[in-house]
Structure 1
Amino acid sequence: MDGAQQNKSPPHLRSAAAWIRMPGKHSASFTPCVPSQSRRKFRPSLMKTLLIMRHAKSSWDQAGQTDHERPLNPRGQRAAPRMGTLLRDEQLVPDQIISSTACRARETVEALVSTSGFCGTLQWEDALYLAAPDVYRTFLQQLGSEPQRVMVVGHNPGLEDLILELTGRHETMPTAALAQLTLPIDNWEELDFLQNADLAGHWQPRNLSPESST
């Protein structure tokens, strides 16, 4: 990608393929990973899908490391790609991922991308580190009508609180857990805490069949 093309897009967006090629970089332009003529065109519908995922299990082994810098531990490194395979098998690969910039969240997203076939937009937001539900809502409301299926990757207790605000249900979100919500909206700017979303799916790595890891 040449420099002129790179500067056309907001600095916090990057295609999945470009981001994987440049580990450690958190900003660049959006580039489709398939030819534009074959890329799926988004059309508004009367329902949006929100995928909510907590980062995979992280390590506490390195003394002096800040919480933001903690990487995944071996258990998390196994769980995250399994959840990416689940997304692929359940045909839930998102059009866009909005993630915390914490190391454990970034590594979780990288694993998801590598196994799910994701080729949409990655959006990294410092504000999602240990964020409250209203912070997630703010970013989602800025998406407009285009993306049909969006994933947020972040931390507890904010994610459990977000599910509660949207569905009226308390769902436990251990590390690497994934919740699928269907929202009765046709534009993300309509998203609000009305507790009218439907919890359509809830998965944890420990409950997946062995086939889900292949």
Structure 2
Amino acid sequence: MAKKLVIVRHGQASHNLDAGDFNRKLTDLGKSQSEEVANKILQHNCIPDLLISSNANRAFNTAKIFAKTWGIDEKKIFINPSIYEATLNKLLNLVNEIENKFNHVAIFGHNPGLSELAEYLTGLNFQLSTSALIILEFDVDNWMEITRNSGKFSLYLEPSDF
């Protein structure tokens, strides 16, 4: 069965670095934009089997907004600390290590890594805005088979008030 990957950049976050970058919170706009994009996915009947999120505050809270909108219990969000500040190679390794019982997976994280991953997998140029997502499809049965230019671009969504 083919694999589908949803790459989601976290919502707009506060620029207040007093508590450090890792702890930055979503702004009210970031929350509403994330909810808007999550609702758009419902119109495409494209809800993932598995949600994987960075443990950084802004990414995890974005994942929780998407999960709530999609009717998924937030306790089912898998936290992967290696997504925070991940390089392209780390993100590709994460994708390649997804269990094959999952065919449709969403990853919530950060730029520049997520945009670089989308570019690497499709050969197309992507710069994910906050709360934006891209859906890629792969004609493979095993996540280990996913590599450079193996993804087919399916859908790109971003908030309307970006």
Aligning the two structures, in what range does the TM-score lie when normalised by the shorter sequence? Answer: over 0.9
User: Partner letter of residue 127 of structure 1?
Assistant: S
* Aligned sequence identity (%): 27
Partner of residue 144 from structure 1, selected from 87, 92, 99 = 99
Can you give the 5+ residue segments of structure 2 that lack an aligned partner in the other structure?
Answer: none
- Larger Rg, first or second structure (1 or 2): 1
Distance (whole Å) between structure 2 residues aligned to residue 67 and residue 144 of structure 1: 30
1:115 and 2:69 correspond:
yes
Partner of residue 85 from structure 1, selected from 22, 26, 39 = 39
1:169 and 2:124 correspond:
yes
Number of corresponding residues = 161
**Structure 1 residue 166: Cα displacement:** 0.3
1:156 and 2:111 correspond:
yes
CA deviation string 1:39-81 (max 9, x = no partner): xxxxxx1x110000100000124x5210000000111011111
Distance (whole Å) between structure 2 residues aligned to residue 73 and residue 105 of structure 1: 12
CA deviation string 1:15-61 (max 9, x = no partner): xxxxxxxxxxxxxxxxxxxxxxxxxxxxxx1x110000100000124
**Structure 1 residue 180: Cα displacement:** 0.6
User: Partner letter of residue 164 of structure 1?
Assistant: E
Residues 84 and 114, structure 1, Cα contact 8 Å, conserved in 2: no
Can you give the 5+ residue segments of structure 1 that lack an aligned partner in the other structure?
Answer: 1-44, 209-214
Partner of 2:8: 53
CA deviation string 1:77-115 (max 9, x = no partner): 111111221222211111001111110001101111111
Distance (whole Å) between structure 1 residues aligned to residue 126 and residue 11 of structure 2: 17
Partner of 2:150: 196
User: Partner letter of residue 125 of structure 2?
Assistant: H
Distance (whole Å) between structure 2 residues aligned to residue 130 and residue 182 of structure 1: 25
Distance (whole Å) between structure 2 residues aligned to residue 133 and residue 81 of structure 1: 27
User: Partner letter of residue 60 of structure 2?
Assistant: R
Higher relative contact order (CA 8 A, sep 6+): 2
Q: What TM-score, normalized to structure 2?
A: 0.92
Partner of 2:28: 74
Structure 1 segments of 4+ aligned residues over 6 angstroms from their partners: none
**Structure 1 residue 143: Cα displacement:** 2.0
Distance (whole Å) between structure 1 residues aligned to residue 119 and residue 104 of structure 2: 19
